[in-house]
Amino acid sequence: MNFIEELGINGHLQIAKLFPDGKEEIIFDDHNIIVSGMGVGLAYLFAGAGGNKVTEYQIDRVQIGVSGNSSLEVSTTYQLSGPLSSTTEYGTDSDIYAITSNQYVNGATLTNKTFLKIPHSKVTKVGNSSVRYTVVLDEEACNNITRGGSAAALNEIGLFMKNPTGAATEASILVAYRYFSNVIKTSDFSLIFRWTLNF
């Protein structure tokens, strides 16, 4: 049994397409993978060895990717296989808020990684020990993504803790991951991720 299993942390991800007429279609509904980055972040917190502000331990950002696969659904996954690589790919005409920052990966810091910020209004308590993070890719977000000249499907997502090491330049760490079936995102629908973590 690993540290995360001992703490009893687990989660669940639901993904839905939302159409302009208000119709919602659930396309994914399953557990997620809590990865070792959660243990790293919590170890920094409990030891008082990382960030000195509680906000640095908040899970407040995500990455969406296009190269996910089921082999990454293990606790030793440190990063997405093919994360979107620019704020432009996330969508400049969208209401979402993409940022470029550093990422802490297995003891190293990677620079110029792109994340979506999760608004505080989209983080809600849903039980005594459960928190739901809602990420909405609106109709203008993540459309027409290509790789190698061909349309690329969205098929992986990761949740990140803001800056648990307390690095002078934020370095976020992956704490949960999920691969899902391919979705070609278009302006015909919004894509909603409802990710619940149970502590």
| Alpha helix segments (H runs only) across 72-181 | 87-90
- Strand arrangement, sheet containing 123-127: 24-31, 10-18, 190-198, 130-137, 123-127
How many of the other CB atoms lie within 10 Å of CB of 53? Answer: 11
Q: What are the residue ranges spanned by the domains of the chain?
A: 32-141+157-171
pLDDT at 92: 80
pLDDT at 177: 97
Query: Judging by DSSP bridges, how do beta strands 98-105 and 171-183 pair with one another?
Result: parallel
- Per-residue model confidence as pLDDT tens for the chain (199 residues): 555 556 689 999 999 999 999 999 999 999 999 999 999 999 999 999 999 999 999 999 999 999 999 999 999 999 999 999 999 999 988 888 999 999 999 989 999 999 999 999 999 999 899 999 999 999 999 998 999 889 999 999 999 999 999 999 999 999 999 999 999 999 999 999 999 999 8
58 vs 120: CA distance, rounded Å: 10
187 vs 155: CA distance, rounded Å: 17
What's the predicted TM-score (pTM) here? 0.94
pLDDT tens across 74-83, in order? 999 999 999 9
- DSSP letter for 46, please: H
Residues 62, 157: contact at Cβ < 8 Å? Answer: yes
